[in-house]
Amino acid sequence: MPIKLSANRYRGKNCVPSRTLLLSLLLLLFIQHWCSAQNGTDGFDITKASFLLPQPMHKGVFKHAIAIHYVVPPTAWTLDMVKAPMFNYAAKYSLPSGFNLQGELSTLFVSNRVSAGPFWNYRKDKFYLGLGYQIAFNYGVLKQFGFNTVLTGWEQQPSITIGHSFAKTAVVLRGDLYYTNDITFSEGGHDVKNNNGFVNGYSFTGSFEQRLHGNHVMSLGLKVNYLRYHIIAWPALPVNSYRYLFPEFHVGLNLN
């Protein structure tokens, strides 16, 4: 039985990227290209600094990155309290034979998602291929404004990633499938469970990495989701009967 909860008492104005966000992205793009122009040719190699490229690495290499994910929920999911971007931290640790372990955390405090799993990576000249499989745990909690609600759920997330590297930039495309194993919604001590697995949906992400300063790399990405639910909008509509198409904007910084 699908889990549903009326969104009428949560619904507010449309959640669209603000003018401030768009101006900030343009400013970051300007700074990015200016810094690249100042760095000149000093032997910088994007493959050594990239986080997103699905490349095989020597055993024992650790890489991590932070990012802001600005999700634009569909009109039917619009929430007054969910207009802030989600913070994301991702990391990977390389294993032999092109494998690595990857994990990430996305959080808005009331909405949280943790995923981890193995990836296999292959490189041919400047082209890259990655196949991944992750287990994800969704956790939402809202005990303010008179509410006492909690959501928990487990998902499987297989993915395929392709990339191409240039001297100082890289382009990465990734596709993900989201299969929900089970999900539980609790309100005021009453639990509604759905243990029947279902395909939540799909997503496609295009990302661009470029040198920002020194060996630090900045990334800009656009993710297009086609999902029945997203953890950021769980207080209004935990699970929908239909899938919705909505975008997500990423701005990231590699920490290595």
Structure confidence by residue, pLDDT tens digits, 126-178? 999 999 999 999 999 887 766 778 899 999 999 999 999 998 899 999 999 99
Q: CB–CB of 135/117 below 8 Å? A: yes
Is the pLDDT at 35 greater than 80? The verdict is: no
Q: What is the CATH number of domain 19-254?
A: 2.40.128
Q: How many CB atoms lie within 10 A of CB 173?
A: 13
pLDDT score, position 12? 41
Contacts of 98 (CB under 8 A, 6+ apart): 56, 120, 121, 122
Residue 194, both tokens: 């759905």
pLDDT score, position 2? 47
Residue 4, both tokens: 């549903």
* Nearest Cα to Cα of residue 157 among 188, 219, 207, 114: 114
Q: Is 5 helix (H, G, I), strand (E, B) or coil?
A: coil
pLDDT score, position 153? 93
Average pLDDT of 73-78?
78
Distances (CA, A) of 120 to 15, 22, 159, 222: 37, 35, 11, 23
| Interatomic CA distance for residues 72 and 91, integer angstroms | 25
Domain residue limits, the chain: 19-254
More confident residue, 91 or 29: 91
Residue 26, both tokens: 């343009």
| Interatomic CA distance for residues 253 and 230, integer angstroms | 24
| Interatomic CA distance for residues 187 and 142, integer angstroms | 10
Q: CB–CB of 66/238 below 8 Å? A: no
pLDDT score, position 74? 84
Average pLDDT of 181-202?
87
